[in-house]
Amino acid sequence: MKKSKVLILHESESTKISLEELGLHLLQDYEFEFLNILDYLKANFRIYDFIVFDSYNDYVFEYFKEKADRIIVSVNILKEERPSDYIKRGAGNFLLKPYSLKEIRLILDQLKENLLIKEEAEENRLKFYTLLDNIPYMAWFKNKDSEYMIVNNEFKEHCGKDFETIRGKGDQFVWDGMIGENCRQYDLKVMTERKQLVFDEIIPGKKGYKQFNIYKVPVVDKKNNILGTMGIAKDITDLKNKDVKFDILLENMPFAVFTKNRNGDIIQNNSTFYKLTDVNRFTYISLKEEDFLGIEHKESIEIEDKDVIYNKSNISLVRTLKTKNGEKIVEVFKSPIIDISGEVIGIVCTMRDVTEVKNQEAKIKKMAYTDSLTGLANRRGLYNYVESQLVKKYADVTIMFMDLDNFKSLNDSFGHQHGDRILIEFGEDLQTICKNGFVSRIGGDEFVIVWEGKMNKELATEMAEKILNLLSGKKRKFNKLSASIGIVTGNTEEDTIDNFLTKGDLALYKAKDQGKNQYVFYNRDLDKKRCLNEEIEQDLRNALDKDELELHYQPQYTCSKELVGLEALLRWNNDKYRKVPIVDIINIMEKSTLIDEIGKFIIKSAFSFAKKINTNREKKVIVSVNISAVQIMKHNFVRTIKKIIDETGVEPNTVGIEITETVLLQNIGENILKIKELKDIGIKISLDDFGTGYSSFSYLVKIPLSNIKIDKSFIWGMKDSEEYRTLVKLCIDTAHALNLKVVAEGVETVEDLELLKYMKADFIQGYLFSKPLPKHIIEATVLQ
């Protein structure tokens, strides 16, 4: 026989010793283990049958409380401890100290016997309830007052109440007043006559009106005293009255139901049907579906019914129902009625009012397809319109893609509320101008207008100019705003909406590149350029690893040909792109993340070269690199330059950076601070392409410059134009007045040189003296 495991929690080893001396080993039915009470967390209490607390501790007791009926607490009668104190805390058993072996066995045996009795009782109870809950009939036990004490699952399901609600309640409560007194009379008859009673009763419940065959018997104890009644109720509704069952179910349906014979005559319906359709039940002798749906639906109704009957299939559809309260949207479901021989004898139809649901769906759909600010279609709405209205027709289309130039600056200057008002008003004006077009706002300041049909170029031009004129008009809200527009025509069978968007973007960005405030028609050359740009970008990503990139250096001299500087210029040794201007390649770098990696390569290479050539050189040669707007806008730009200076060991006063006015067009204050920080450590700062910007002279007093570089277009224009000569002289004089040196770029002839000498230009750069050269040639010739 398996021994019962007993854990004894004690305070000291003396307890263990005294109990072992007492002879616990003589209790052969038990296996004892000892544990200091302070180590109680080490015990897996679930493996022990009984736990003896030799020293009581409330916290420890809470830990073992899950086995409260198996816990024995020691009570020290010498200290006048009272067992009731421990019983109040949850302990069910106790031992008196000092211990005796006989008492320990007695209490353990008694506790074991009690637990065995409980387990047997629980097992019997579970068997009884398992049997009761698996009977496919309602079953219950009532006390002498006809109050429910036990019910099974079938009973609870039918009355719709849980046992806690039912317990101790009578029929009047349980069945919500629908039955009650009759049941009490039957109970009294069974208890009085002490014999079974069988009868039929209709009991309405959660499963509807059900007719039951009920069997009741008295329940007596061993002394033959009446304890109450037990009942079993078998559902005989189907056997008794199938038609009544159908009528009840039909009437209690929460939606309209009607049945039709094979000829289409409605032979049965519920009251909800009349409420939904507004049909007067006394008007029609023979009612058909088209009588309330409309005669225009007669043919489609006949087709539907034939489909249901001959294919023995279900169909569902949505219809509009006209009533005195307006139109309702109804969901109709039709199913065949099949007899036991498998023949279709009719059709059962349900109609559910889904007006509110459909209206909500329409609202949600509208929200999904509508821009919340302007009320125009959004990107999803644009896609839906093209795919649902145009693609099916294989329609020709004309599409204009536009965004507002400089809108971000306006937003930053006047706030987003002002910007939002502009977008709303611009959207309204677009709808007025483009009456036959589908106008959408697909994001930010981007708008797309779609016309069905191909416009000729003249008409499309006229429409684009109307839009541009709208922005350049007298409306104060549109001041300082313009638009760039890309125009695409095509056919929805040949192109997807995504293709149209791609082409439109190409045309739009071409318009921006050409100076904004204009429109560009898409052509295949734009696509070729896009593909080329993508190809260039991909190959550029591998150019550094393939060692294809290098720097050439163009010397800068005084007018007397004394070397003062070198401008670092990127070269890509790739025959595939030999004819692509390097300026285009740099533009591609700037529009991608390549400018970060390649830009660092250029700066590091140039600074390393400056370090090399200026070591032990008395007259230093300044090596300068061109910096783009994208680079200087990086928050870590200055830190990157300083880090490269530290890595290369170059002296800051031997290197320079060249910037253009475009660098300063955004965040001018922040950028000027960055430039000043670099100039303060000795780096030379040059303003490149001077004279080609919007307000060049105003920058001269703001930027901490070292010199300016007059753009080559001015130098080339001097030989033919007095105006150009005047402008160049003005630039030189202005720079000198501000203590700035002047570099003249693009000097190619002796005449240009003599003229620049006369104008007192400081430095010369151009093919007259030298073209850009690889560094090994620079070292071998120029620096000698």
Span of 285-294, 358-367, 636-645, 697-706 with lowest mean pLDDT: 358-367
Mean pLDDT across 340-355: 83
Predicted pLDDT of residue 1: 62
pLDDT at 582 over 90: no
pLDDT, tens only, 150-174: 888 888 889 899 989 989 999 889 8
pLDDT at 532 over 60: no
The predicted pLDDT at position 695 comes to 47
Q: With bands split at pLDDT 50, 70 and 90, how would you rate the model's confidence at 516?
A: confident
Distance separating alpha carbons of residues 626 and 373, to the nearest angstrom = 43
Residue 686 DSSP one-character state: E
- Predicted local distance difference test score (pLDDT) of residue 605: 93
- The burial class, CB within 10 Å (0-12 / 13-18 / 19+), for 463 is buried
Ranked by mean pLDDT, which of 84-88, 608-612, 672-676, 714-718 comes out on top?
A: 608-612
Contact, 226 vs 191, CB < 8 A?
yes
Each residue's pLDDT tens digit, 48-61: 888 888 877 777 77
Instruction: For residue range 11-43, list pLDDT tens digits in order.
Output: 888 888 888 878 887 888 888 888 888 887 888
pLDDT at 130: 76
Length of the chain: 784
Poorest-pLDDT segment among 408-422, 449-463, 729-743: 408-422
Is the pLDDT confidence value at 136 over 60? yes
29 touches 4 (CB < 8 A) = yes
CA angle 124, 125, 131 (to 5 degrees): 90
The confidence score (pLDDT) of residue 143 equals 92
Q: Mind listing the pLDDT tens digit for each residue in 69-103?
A: 777 777 665 565 666 666 666 666 777 777 778 88
Mean pLDDT score across all residues of the chain: 83
Residue with tokens 């009668």: 77
Q: Is pLDDT at 412 greater than 50 in this prediction?
A: yes
Q: Does the pLDDT at position 124 exceed 60?
A: yes
Residue-wise pLDDT for 323-338, tens only, equals 777 788 888 888 888 8
**CA–CA separation, 368 vs 383, rounded Å?**
12
Whether the bond into 98 is cis, omega within 30 of 0: yes
Average pLDDT for 492-511: 82
Is residue 410 within 8 A of residue 481, CB to CB? The reply is yes
- The residue ranges of DSSP E strands in 660-759, in sequence order, are 684-690, 707-710, 741-745
Render pLDDT for 226-254 as a digit per residue (tens, 0 to 9): 999 998 988 887 776 555 556 666 677 77
Percent of the chain with pLDDT over 70: 89
Q: Partners of 741 in the beta sheet?
A: 707
Q: List pLDDT tens digits, range 614-629.
A: 998 889 999 999 998 8
| Per-residue tokens: 126 | 């579970």
